Amino acid sequence: MKYDKILLTHGSGGQLSRQLIEELILLHLGNPILSRLDDAAQLEPESGRLAFTTDSFVIDPIFFPGGDIGKLAVCGTVNDLAMSGALPKYLSLAFILEEGLPIADLERIVLSIKQTAAEARVQVVTGDIKVVGRGDAHKIFINTAGIGVVPAGVNISSDKLTVGDKLIVSGNLGEHALAVMANRAGIEFNPALLSDVAPLSGLVADMLNVCPQIHALRDPTRGGLASTLNELAKASQVGIVVQEECIPVTEAVLGACELLGFDPLYLANEGKLLTFVAAADADRLLAQMRQHKYGARAQLVGEVIAEPQGLVQLKTAVGGTRILDMPAGEQTPRIC
């Protein structure tokens, strides 16, 4: 590359834009569809319902223990597709770059996108680059949108929770938000707290294989387990009871939460899911999940009850009950 930092001209649509696209983006992410550089990617017809989702990523810092904004941008959208039961297939990738961003940083992010997309078996097929002046953005923002295909017979939705359903959580909670916040605050833990950011499409495919009739699947990102359960309880007009002592949280996260004043049930995760299934299917599903590296610490943590509708109750280890509300304020800005 002719320059070592991003210039406004890299976003102009002219020669320097083209050089950036060819020598950095296509070099690492090129494939027969993306490399055509047409205004829109042309995709072969799909049989089956499509899933379509989008997320923008504004995380600060852009490199953090366990991942970076590029890995996060792939996983976030792949996981949203997977949570609808879809097999993720195609991603769009749009960068907003701040003038002055080191091109070495951009390349590191693009390589991370390449690696994560390969693991998740999705293809980046279309994209965009915009550059804004110094101070008009913070280093780099990424948007990804994704298309997936929903297998026949799969019918997953937030309003399908049924009284008696069991709630399974795929692994330890709170790691992403804590890793990012601790890093931003300059706090180091020993051993290091790492973000859990990971693509969950493989785990979901395994789960649907043994249990295609899963009722609901969600990834507890912003707002954590508590927000997600509240949304599901409201959408399905049921109550949810969670057993606190069953929720998988590491000692390290509990300690850091105590130190920093956070509740792990409200912290964002980027490589975890929760699922509701009929009680008869729960043990079989749990066993299958534990065979996958991203589900090895899965736990059965709660169940669906009829009343009170829309409320999430936490049964504490000491025998009490408290209501897990939606978070009212901003706990954790720019963690995704």
> Which residue has 């490199």 as its token pair?
63
Residue of 102, 133, 164, 255 that binds a second copy (CB under 8 A): 133
Question: Does 3 sit near a second copy (CB under 8 A)?
Answer: no
Residue of 166, 176, 218, 272 that binds a second copy (CB under 8 A): 218
Tokens encoding 150: 């929903």
Measured CA to CA in angstroms, residue 321 lies from 32, 232, 246, 289, 317 at distances of 56, 20, 14, 29, 9
Query: Are 306 and 238 contacting, i.e. CB atoms less than 8 angstroms apart?
Result: yes
**For residue 86, what is the DSSP state?**
-
Output the smallest distance, CB 208 to a second copy, in A: 15
Half-sphere exposure of 74 (CA within 13 A, CB side): 29
Q: Which helix H or strand E contains 217, and what residues bound it?
A: strand 216-218
Residue of 67, 70, 146, 271 that binds a second copy (CB under 8 A): 146
Other beta carbons within 10 Å of 141: 20
The three-state secondary structure class of 168 is: strand
Binding mask of the shown chain, residues 281 to 320, with x at each position contacting a second copy by CB under 8 A:
----------------------------------------
**For residue 96, what is the DSSP state?**
E
Question: Does 105 sit near a second copy (CB under 8 A)?
Answer: no
Residue of 70, 199, 223, 239 that binds a second copy (CB under 8 A): 223
Site for a second copy in 11-70 (CB under 8 A): 11-18, 36-58, 60
Question: Does 123 sit near a second copy (CB under 8 A)?
Answer: no
Output the smallest distance, CB 283 to a second copy, in A: 26
The three-state secondary structure class of 163 is: coil
Tokens encoding 85: 């039961």
Output the smallest distance, CB 318 to a second copy, in A: 27
Buried b (16+ CB within 10 A) or exposed e, 294-305: bbebbbbbbbbb
Q: In this complex, which beta carbon is closest to a second copy, that of residue 136 or of residue 188?
A: 136
Question: Does 174 sit near a second copy (CB under 8 A)?
Answer: no
Question: Does 333 sit near a second copy (CB under 8 A)?
Answer: yes
Residue of 114, 121, 184, 222 that binds a second copy (CB under 8 A): 222
Question: Does 153 sit near a second copy (CB under 8 A)?
Answer: no
Question: Does 327 sit near a second copy (CB under 8 A)?
Answer: yes
Site for a second copy in 75-104 (CB under 8 A): 79-81, 83-84, 86, 90, 92-96
> Which residue has 């294989």 as its token pair?
209
The three-state secondary structure class of 320 is: coil
Output the smallest distance, CB 108 to a second copy, in A: 21
Question: Does 332 sit near a second copy (CB under 8 A)?
Answer: yes
Residue of 32, 135, 261, 319 that binds a second copy (CB under 8 A): 135
Question: Which amino acid, residue 203?
Answer: L
Measured CA to CA in angstroms, residue 121 lies from 77, 113, 200 at distances of 13, 12, 11
